[in-house]
Each structure stands twice: as C-alpha cells, then as structure tokens.
Amino acid sequence: MADQITEEAFGEEAIRFLDANAPKQVERRRGWGEGSDRVGLFVERTPEEERAAVSESKAWRGKVFDAGFGWITGPARWGGRELPASYQRCWQALESRYDTPSQAIFGIGLGMIAPTIVAHGTDVVRDRYLRDLFAGRIVACQLFSEPVAGSDLAGLQTRAERDGDEWVVNGQKVWTSGAQYSDIGEIICRTDPDVPKHKGLTGFVLDMHAPGVEVRPLRQMTGGASFNEVFFTDVRIPDDHRLGDVNQGWGVALTTLMNERAAIGGGGVGVAIDLPRLLEVVARTGRGDDPVVRQLVADTWINANVARYTNLRAMERTQQGGIPGPEMSIGKLALGYNLLRVARLLSAVLGPELVADSGRWGTFAWSQLVLGISGFRVAGGTEEIMKNIIGERVLGLPKEPAGA
C-alpha cells in the first residue's frame, strides 16, 4: 500500500535526507579560460577512474534507496513506494540542488531494462533483480545490436538453443554501452531460424559474469572506449530468466526500444546541448555580428527549445503511467538533427581551430563533441528507422514492405 503522505510532507522528508547526506550545489560558473574546457557527448575515463566512479555512484544509489527515494513510483513488493509520478518529479527537482554522484551508469538499467522486466519477466527474474537494480547493487546493459544487424534488430544471428531447463547462447553483440561494469544484460537471441525473422526471437536476462561471456572495449574516433563488443561461447541461461514467451522476443525488444528512445530523446542518458556555452564561444571568438552565424545561432536555439518542450510533453505522459510511444522517436530524431546544427555552428565559428589545436582555450575542445555525433545518431536506432516509425505510426503512411 502506498505511503499515506502528502507531497509537501514528502518534500520535507526528502530535504531532511539530502541535507544530512549531501552538500548543496554551489554555483561554480568559471570564467573564460578557467579550468578544463573539455566538452563531449561521452564520458571517457581511465579504468581506474571508472572503477572509482562506479563505486561512488552505487554507494549513493544504495543510500537513496534505503531512505525510500530509490523507486518512488514502483511497487512495494520490490522496494517501491507506489506514489504518483509528481512525487518522483519533486524528488528529482530537490536532488538537483545538491552535489551528488552521477547516476548515469544506471540509465540503461532503470530506464530500459527494468521496465522490460516488469512487463515481461518471470516472478523469479522480477524478485531477483528489480530491487537490486533500483538499490544500485547491480548495473544492467542492453545486448541487442550485432555486427551484421544494427538497426535491423530482427536480422540478428546470436543463437539460443534449448537444453532441458536451460538455454545455451553462442554469438556476438556490439556497441554495448556499460558492458564492462554491468552485472546483468537483456539479450535478444534467435531461437527458431526456420520462421520469418521477426517471429523467431526470444529475450532473456543474462548474467554478465557467467562463464563464456567476454567483453572487449571498442576504441572510438574520440579516443575513448565508451562501447564494447561482447562474445558468448556456450553461455547458459536458466529458462526462468526468459523474458516473455519463446519466439515472442520481438515484442519484448520493442518494449525496451521505446523506453530507450524515451531516455535518449528526453536527455535521460546525460545528453544535453549547452546553449549558454555555445553563445559564449560565439561571443569570445568575435563572430556575434556575422549575419550567417547569427542565423545559425537562432536556428540552433529555436530547434533545441522546440525539442525540449516536445520531450517534456511526452515525458509527462510517460510519468503519468502511459507507455512510451512513437513520439519518443520524434525526440530521438530531433536530438540527432540538433546536434548536427551544433556542429555546423561550431564549424562556422571556430573554422580550422575545431580540427587543429591552436592552444586557445575553448576551441579545439569542441572536437570531442563533434566526433561523437556520428555514433550518437546511430545509437538507439538510425534516423532512417526513426523516420519509418514516425511515418507509419504518427502520420499513418503505408508500412514499409516486410522482409522474410
């Protein structure tokens, strides 16, 4: 049963916890040329830095969960408080005023995998993993894309063959964010190669520490390794870790993908366009009076804010209990286009300093962001896939002919 608590009393409870456990945010607006000028789409750390950050994030998440703020809207059975979405928004607004460890490592697990487990998992999987996911004791990753089947998820070839009460998995996944520190993963496998490709898939929850699982980092052109390829050699998964019915994995995958696009399009995985910093670059480089640059600034500003308001409307629906729908594909598509607008603006303002380090603060550092845009536009489904979804499900256009 949900706590009998008003939103005002809930807010007071949250403030008491935050005051006792975290320092207040201090406005640290550095002047031009002060501190690091790095800006990028992906957080790139050394293995040592990453281990320390993961440990710090888990510790804070556990403390928040134990205090009753880890899954505010969730079922009490798995540690939730069964409160309305407005209470979750209240908590987020209050927590943002305090200096707390980043929770980005939990974005995939809580935003994409947990909703799929709730919708399609067995009682064994729900009882074993949901509480631990929201308490920060485990981290989850998404094992969908393959070398020959990226956005064409139905074309995947990783096999799962039944062996009594277990499934034996062999194959490879690629572009897996966070696999290097994840404890479980949601994997979609081909379980029947003799039926149309959408109908022969099955979803599972897989132990990332199981024998036969190998994670290899992928070096990006940014210089970092935010993604991985994952190999599976005779990896065994209990049948009670299956998500949904056998050969019904396409519906399981769609549940995850809609939540993924909600997270990416709404900025839920830490993606944001820093408009004030962009304006400062324009001013500091003396290009603010150039009419072409001014037009690019206006175009970037307008479209970023239109996307933000569209996302807020869609997220409001989701937080009220609705299922993420095709509007999330709009958000994901818009963010990709807006990042391109940022790249064009930076190219016009910085010119050669964007690609050659002149040593001037706040210039070449933007190359990290620009180099990451291509990969980001593919993440969560290519723009062609997003356009198909929007055309068919929003505009009512005829469906694209299905393959075998």
Most distant CA pair in the chain, distance: 72
Residues 294 and 385 in one domain: yes
Residue type, 220: Q
Per residue in 272-294, pLDDT (tens digit) is: 578 888 899 999 999 999 999 99
Per residue in 191-207, pLDDT (tens digit) is: 999 999 889 999 999 99
Residues 74 and 170 in one domain: no
Task: Output the DSSP codes for 188-233.
Answer: EEES-TTS-GGGSEEEEEEETTSTTEEEEEE--TTS---EEEEEEE
Residues 111 and 175 in one domain: no
Residue type, 156: L
Is 9 a domain residue? no
Residues 200 and 127 in one domain: no
Domain of residue 360, residue span: 272-393
Q: Which residue in the list 146, 186, 229, 260 is annotated as catalytic?
A: 260
Per residue in 3-51, pLDDT (tens digit) is: 579 999 999 999 999 999 999 988 666 678 887 888 877 777 888 999 9
The CATH number of residue 77's host domain is: 1.10.540
260 has catalytic annotation: yes
Residues 376 and 344 in one domain: yes
**How many structural domains compose the chain?**
3
Is 257 a domain residue? no
Locate 178 and state its tokens: 């966070």
Is 341 a domain residue? yes
Residues 180 and 284 in one domain: no
Residue 268 pLDDT grade (very low, low, confident, very high; cuts 50, 70, 90): very low
Is 4 a domain residue? no
State which of 138-142, 144-148, 331-335, 397-401 shows the largest mean pLDDT.
138-142
Question: pTM for the whole thing?
Answer: 0.83
CB neighbours of residue 93 within 10 Å: 11
| Phi, psi angle pair for 157, to nearest 5° | -120, -5
